[in-house]
Structures are given as structure tokens and as C-alpha cells.
Structure 1
């Protein structure tokens, strides 16, 4: 998986995706999503590191079986709320 973090004064965002999805355009019946390297491809990481980052995140943008499953295990994403593009899950997480 790849993970890239973004920090502002008030927020810590984690963008993560399964490695093989970089550069792909995925579609569903309503729209499409481009898995841009400029947004998602930071450092290659392990599930343990991603879990730690997700537990500190105020926002997360996740795409791929591994990335979304990691967020589900952390308890920050309900698997029933994922949106699917070409059978690949995409999930967003926000704290208010």
C-alpha cells in the first residue's frame, strides 16, 4: 500500500491506496475515480503503520481492498458504507 499524509493547522488527512491501483481509472454506474499518484503515492507502508496513521487522522481517503480493510479493522470505517468502483472499495472518513 501507499500512504500520503497532509497536515493543516487543524486537520491531519491520510490518503492510502493499494499499490497496484496507482494510475488506474475506476468506474461505477454513476461516476469514475482516477487513482492519481500525485494524491495517493507517498511512501510504501505496512498495515501497522497505516493503522497508526488512521487512528490519528481527522480525515481519510482510502481506495483498495487492503487500505479499506485496514480502516475497517481500526473501527473508523463501516464496510457497508464503502462505494465500489470496478469492484474496488473506496471509503472516506471525517471527524466533525
Structure 2
């Protein structure tokens, strides 16, 4: 999994994707998502590092079955709220 962290005026923005998703575009008819190097390209990370980043994030975007499953299993993402884009899962996380 790849993790990229950015400090913003609103807090920490975290982007996580499964490596094989990088550079791909997913489309389910209503939603299209391109997983760009500029936004999602980051450091290779294991599940513990992904969870650490997500718990510190103000906002997070996740693409891919592995990273979304890690977030679900950690109790950070509600499985019912995950978008299935056909070939990839997508979730967003926002702490209020």
C-alpha cells in the first residue's frame, strides 16, 4: 500500500492506495476516479502504518481492496459506506 500525507490549513490529508491501483481509472457509470501519482503516490506502508496515518488524518481518501479492508478492520471506515467501483473499492474518511 502507498501512503501520502499532506499538511493543509484544515489538518492532515492522507491518501492511501493499493500499489496496483496507481495510474488506473475506475468508472462505475455514475462515478469516475483516476488514481494519480500526484495525489496517491507515496511511501510503501504496511497495515500498521496505514492505520497510524488514518488515525492522525483529518481527511483521508482510500482506493483499493487491501487498504479499504485494513481501514474497515481497524474500525475506521464503515463497510456500508464503501463505494464499489467495479474493479476497486473507494472510501473517504472525515473526522469531525
| TM-score, scaled relative to structure 1 | 0.93
Contact map agreement 1:25 1:34 (CA 8 A) in 2:
yes
Q: Spell out structure 1 runs of 4+ moving beyond 3 A.
A: none
Task: Name the counterpart of 1:34.
Answer: 34
The number of residues matched between the two structures is 96
| TM-score, scaled relative to structure 2 | 0.93
- Report how far residue 11 of structure 1 moved: 0.7
Stretches of structure 1 that go unaligned for 5 or more consecutive residues are none
- Report how far residue 29 of structure 1 moved: 2.2
Task: Name the counterpart of 2:46.
Answer: 46
- Report how far residue 10 of structure 1 moved: 4.1
Q: How does 1:11-90 map to 2 (within 5 A)?
A: 11-90=11-90
Stretches of structure 2 that go unaligned for 5 or more consecutive residues are none
| Cα-Cα RMSD | 1.1
